[in-house]
Structure 1
Amino acid sequence: MLAAVVGAYVALRGLSTWNRQLKGGVEYDLTRRILKCTFRLREAIKGVRNPVIWGNEMPSPRENDAQRLTKEQLRHYGTANAYQKRWDKVTDVRSDLQTELLEAEVIWGRIIHEKFDPLFKLQNELFSSVHAYVAACNPDESEQARAAYQEIMQKRRDILYDLSSEVQDEFSQDISRAIETIELFLQPHLRK
């Protein structure tokens, strides 16, 4: 009888250890995926802020449409589409990240969203700046609307371009701090 009790105890301890290891493996994998998506988001945001727009980013309208557009309209068409392509990368990564965060919420609760809120607010700030810039450059907008968008841009901090070389600009520093907070929260889950 003693052997049966000892055997049952050992079996329960083994199951408990196996369960902890399995949970730790799941958390490790999820943490790694979340960090990977977070770093991809950082790089996509950097891509949006790149001050150089390459020719392959600026599509031309169809030939029939291009003939009807002025030089200023053609330039705006290319610029607007370049920013849209850049922003599409941010949107794709954000979508992947949202999926991972839903799984993380199941495991860790709502706190994971609180850790990402500062990063997402910075992303929204950049989106708003890009939108205002593209609208302010649109020759098809009225002078009043273009002036209003210019005024909006002047009231906000200048974050459209990342011109920093060795020292990060303020917006890049804010992004780095937001990601550092996320990393600090997730680090313990990488050690399991």
Structure 2
Amino acid sequence: MEITLINQDWYLITKDVLTVLFTLAGLIIAGLGLATWKKQIKGSKEFEAAHNLHFAMLKLREAIKHVRNPAIWPSESQRAVKFIKEKNPEKSDEELKKNEHAYVYEMRWQKITDAYTEAESYLLEAEALWGHEIMDLTKPLNKKVRELNINLNQNFASPEMRTKDLMAIHDVIYDKSSETEQDAFSTEVSKSIDAIAGYLRGKIK
């Protein structure tokens, strides 16, 4: 009878110990699963943020190319006049016709504005994930966009108001790249975007 009681007590103790161990094991497994899940979620967020930002930067590159395209077709001039007329209905037809060349570039610039707006939202997300370094990497690209804008304004200013040589202005506002070689401005834009892309690739390895 005494042996039976001892066996029963041992069984109860063993049962309690095993219950505790199984509970602890379950908590550990759940904790590991949660950590893995959090890591996967973070990895997914980082991949999405990197992809979106890189794509937005490529859109900005294409918008810059679009603005710098030296060719202007009559159909584009007509669209530009209509674009400006909708924004400024008070402008006379004579004034619109007189400045239609400048209006083409104003219409084209809208693509840069749209690309910038999209990139800004993704940049904020990237900064939240990885810190301020990504913002520093965009500074050279921002500088090129400002340079393009300044030179466009110079190009359409009256000659006495210009502070730069007209040929130097044209080197910036007109894309002179060939099929095999980019011009200086395009090269610098590509270099800036490549630096951003390299940083983003490093974040999703």
Q: CA deviation at 1:44?
A: 0.3
Q: Give the alignment of 1:150-165 within 5 angstroms.
A: 151-154=163-166, 156=168, 158-165=171-178
Which residue in the other structure is 1:168 paired with? 182
Q: Secondary structure at the match of 2:48?
A: helix
Matched-pair contact (CA < 8 Å) for 1:49–1:162 = yes
What's the % identity of the aligned pairs? 33
Pair 1:65–1:148, CA change in 2 (3 A): closer
Which residue in the other structure is 1:84 paired with? 106
Given residue 172 of structure 2, which amino acid in structure 1 is its aligned partner?
I
Question: Greater CA deviation, 18-27 or 107-116?
Answer: 107-116
Given residue 56 of structure 1, which amino acid in structure 2 is its aligned partner?
S
Inter-partner Cα distance in structure 1 for 2:113 and 2:92: 28
- Matched pairs, number: 175
Q: CA deviation at 1:154?
A: 4.6
Q: Give the alignment of 1:95-106 within 5 angstroms.
A: 95-106=117-128
Inter-partner Cα distance in structure 2 for 1:55 and 1:117: 36
Given residue 173 of structure 1, which amino acid in structure 2 is its aligned partner?
T
Inter-partner Cα distance in structure 2 for 1:17 and 1:77: 61
Normalized against structure 1, the TM-score is what? 0.83
1:65 aligns with 2:79: no
Matched-pair contact (CA < 8 Å) for 1:133–1:153 = no
Inter-partner Cα distance in structure 2 for 1:122 and 1:3: 62
Larger-gyration structure (1/2): 2
Inter-partner Cα distance in structure 2 for 1:123 and 1:65: 31
Which residue in the other structure is 2:63 paired with? 44
Structure 2: which 5+ residue stretches go unaligned?
1-19, 86-90
Which residue in the other structure is 1:112 paired with? 134
Matched-pair contact (CA < 8 Å) for 2:155–2:166 = no
Q: Secondary structure at the match of 1:159?
A: helix
Q: CA deviation at 1:156?
A: 4.9
